[in-house]
């Protein structure tokens, strides 16, 4: 099956700092999503981005499908950004099955 | 998007018992899924819940342990059978909207088995 690797596994930031999270995947995909899991366990959709670039407020994401990676940018981080960020991909012809990366655990300190 | 609810939100169960988790969506969806998230880990797909037919299970998960029902396009249940402490996890249902590859997740059921 497809392999999904996220880096870094852990990240500690001071409030106001910027960060870049990376997701590498081992095969062609027709779906890539970024999620934020808050401290209460709820998974929140951030981006559906199988290719190209999207922005939503302080967050933006870029997927370069031909090179099999995606980046999530967080600017001017806030304590509410803390939690775990997951990248998930759906391999071509995989029947809608999402494969999750290991996640990046982010802590933003005040 | 879709509004997804799960019941119960959390439970503490005795070893050897079974728990049924419900997932309700506010609109008809074609695809519904069940995931498990063990403590400190990522999410793993258990099965795809098929409406009107048997669920499709991923490697390592079997129907006898995780029976799934999906009687209609807005509702599904997952039962965790004959529980052991290793079943302590968060169980999440997700849906994929029609004409979209995006998946949305319910709030999860936090299960502790003692």
Closest chain A residue to the Cα of B90, Cα to Cα: A41
Q: Is the model's pLDDT at A94 over the cut of 70?
A: no
Q: Report the distance separating Cα A9 and Cα A6, nearest Å.
A: 7
Residues B66, B34 contacting (CB under 8 angstroms): yes
Residue-averaged pLDDT of chain B: 94
The model's pLDDT over A11-30, given as tens digits with 9 standing for 90+, comes to 999 999 999 999 999 999 98
The model's pLDDT over B69-98, given as tens digits with 9 standing for 90+, comes to 999 999 999 999 999 999 999 999 999 887
CB under 8 Å to A94, separation ≥6 — which residues?
A2
Residue B114 binned pLDDT confidence (cut-offs 50, 70, 90): very high
Closest chain A C-alpha to B17 CA, distance in angstroms: 24
Share of chain B above pLDDT 90, in %: 82
Selected residues 37-96 of chain A with any CB under 8 Å from a CB in chain B: 40-43, 45, 48, 50, 86, 88, 90, 95-96
Q: Is the model's pLDDT at B1 over the cut of 80?
A: no
């Amino acid at each position: 099956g497809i392999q999904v690797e996220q880096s870094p596994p852990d990240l500690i930031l001071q409030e106001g700092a910027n960060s870049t999270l990376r997701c590498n995947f081992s095969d062609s995909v027709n779906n890539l999503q970024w999620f934020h899991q808050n401290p209460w366990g709820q998974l929140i959709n951030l981006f559906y981005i199988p290719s190209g670039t999207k922005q939503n407020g302080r967050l933006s994401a870029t997927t370069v499908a031909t090179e099999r990676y995606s980046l999530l940018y967080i600017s001017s981080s806030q304590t509410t950004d803390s939690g775990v960020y997951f990248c998930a991909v759906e391999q071509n012809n995989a029947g809608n099955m999402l494969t999750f990366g290991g996640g990046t655990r982010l802590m933003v300190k005040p | 998007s879709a509004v997804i609810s799960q019941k119960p939100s959390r439970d503490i169960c005795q070893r050897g018992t079974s728990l049924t988790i419900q997932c309700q969506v506010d609109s008809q969806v074609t695809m519904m899924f069940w995931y498990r998230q063990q403590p400190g880990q990522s999410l793993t797909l258990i099965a795809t819940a098929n409406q009107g037919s048997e669920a499709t299970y991923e490697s390592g998960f079997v129907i006898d342990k995780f029976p799934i029902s999906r009687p209609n396009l807005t509702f599904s249940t997952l039962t965790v059978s004959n529980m052991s402490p290793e079943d302590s996890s968060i169980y999440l249902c997700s849906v994929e909207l029609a004409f979209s590859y995006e998946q949305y997740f319910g709030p999860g059921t936090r299960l502790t088995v003692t």
